[in-house]
Structure 1
Amino acid sequence: MHTSAATFPDLAGSAVVVTGGGSGIGAALVRGFLDQGARVAFLDLEDRAESGGALFLPCDVTDLGALDAALGRARETHGATGILVNNVANDTRHATLDVTPEFWDESMAVNLRSYFFAARAVIPAMREAGGGSIVNLSSISYLMGQAGYPLYTAANAGITSLTRSLAREFGPDGIRVNALAPGWVMTERQKALWATEEAVSAHLARQCLPRPLVPGDMVGPALFLASAASGAITGQVLPADGGVVTTG
Structure 2
Amino acid sequence: MIPSPPATQPNSAVYPSLRGRTVLISGGASGIGEAFVRAFAAQGAQVGFLDLDAAAGDRLAQELASGGARVEFRQADVTDTAALRSAIATVRQRFGPIAVLLNNAANDQRHAVAEVTPDYFDRSVAVNLRHQFFAAQAVAPDMAALGGGSIINLGSISWMIKDPGYPVYLSCKAAIQGLTRSLARDLGKRNIRVNSLVPGWVMTERQVRLWLKPESEAEIDAAQCLPGRLLPQHIAAMALFLAADDSRMCTAQDFVVDAGWA
Give yes or no for TM over 0.5: yes
Structure 1 unaligned segments of length 5 or more: list them.
none
Deviation at 1:28, TM superposition (A): 0.3
In the alignment, which of 134, 139, 143 is matched to residue 156 of structure 2?
139
Distance in structure 2 (CA, Å) of the matches to 1:101 and 1:116: 21
TM score, norm. by length of structure 1: 0.96
- Aligned residue in 2 for 1:156: 173
Greater RCO, 1 or 2 (C-alpha within 8 Å, sep 6+): 1
Distance in structure 2 (CA, Å) of the matches to 1:96 and 1:4: 45
In the alignment, which of 140, 164, 167 is matched to residue 123 of structure 1?
140
1:38 aligns with 2:55: no
Distance in structure 1 (CA, Å) of the matches to 2:187 and 2:81: 22
SS of the equivalent of 1:191 reads helix
Distance in structure 1 (CA, Å) of the matches to 2:207 and 2:52: 18
Structure 1 residue ranges (4+ consecutive) displaced by more than 4 angstroms after TM superposition: none
Amino acid at match of 1:92: Q
Amino acid at match of 2:223: R
Deviation at 1:3, TM superposition (A): 10
SS of the equivalent of 1:209 reads coil
- Aligned residue in 2 for 1:228: 245
- Aligned residue in 2 for 1:181: 198
In the alignment, which of 43, 56, 76 is matched to residue 48 of structure 1?
56
Q: Kindly provide the CA deviation profile for residues 122-172 of structure 1, in whole angstroms up to 9, marking residues without a partner as x.
A: 001111221110011100111111111111110011111100000011110
**Is this contact kept in 2: 1:21–1:88, CA < 8 A?**
yes
In the alignment, which of 54, 59, 84 is matched to residue 76 of structure 2?
59
- Aligned residue in 2 for 1:212: 229
Which of 34-43 and 143-152 deviates more? 143-152
- Aligned residue in 2 for 1:19: 26
SS of the equivalent of 1:184 reads coil
Equivalent residues in 2 for 1:73-112 (5 A)? 73-112=90-129
CA RMSD of aligned residues (A): 1.4
Distance in structure 1 (CA, Å) of the matches to 2:226 and 2:25: 28
Residues 33, 146 of structure 1: CA spacing in aligned structure 2 closer, same or farther, 3 A cutoff?
Answer: same
- Aligned residue in 2 for 1:69: 86
Amino acid at match of 1:21: G
In the alignment, which of 197, 203, 206 is matched to residue 214 of structure 2?
197
Q: Kindly provide the CA deviation profile for residues 47-80 of structure 1, in whole angstroms up to 9, marking residues without a partner as x.
A: 5263223211000000111000000000000101
Deviation at 1:198, TM superposition (A): 1.3
**Is this contact kept in 2: 1:3–1:219, CA < 8 A?**
no
Distance in structure 1 (CA, Å) of the matches to 2:174 and 2:112: 18
- Aligned residue in 2 for 1:10: 17
Distance in structure 2 (CA, Å) of the matches to 1:163 and 1:93: 25
Structure 2 unaligned segments of length 5 or more: list them.
1-8, 66-70
SS of the equivalent of 1:244 reads coil
